[in-house]
Amino acid sequence: MDASQIYILVSILALAAIIFILFLTIGKKHKKISTLTYLAFMFIIAGIIFGDSKYIGYSLMGVGVALAIVDIILKERKKK
């Protein structure tokens, strides 16, 4: 198998996992996603898009991960 076939296989497996999770969660109430989560997701996607430039891509992904961690900490503190 060459690299392109491996990428296709991984993509198909990821799609299958997403569909499986969606079937498991149909009918359940979902919590609304916070603004900080949207912002973190946007930074991570921007990091993937601008991944050609190492410094910009990794910096954007790092900011996205940091925002996601802050969001998780804030949600855990809110529960207590």
Model confidence pTM above 0.85: no
Please tell me the distance from the alpha carbon of residue 43 to that of residue 39, in angstroms, as a whole number: 6
Which has the higher per-residue pLDDT, 56 or 27?
56
> What is the rounded average pLDDT of the residues 43-53?
87
Q: Where are the domains of the chain?
A: 1-29, 31-73
pLDDT greater than 80 at residue 47: yes
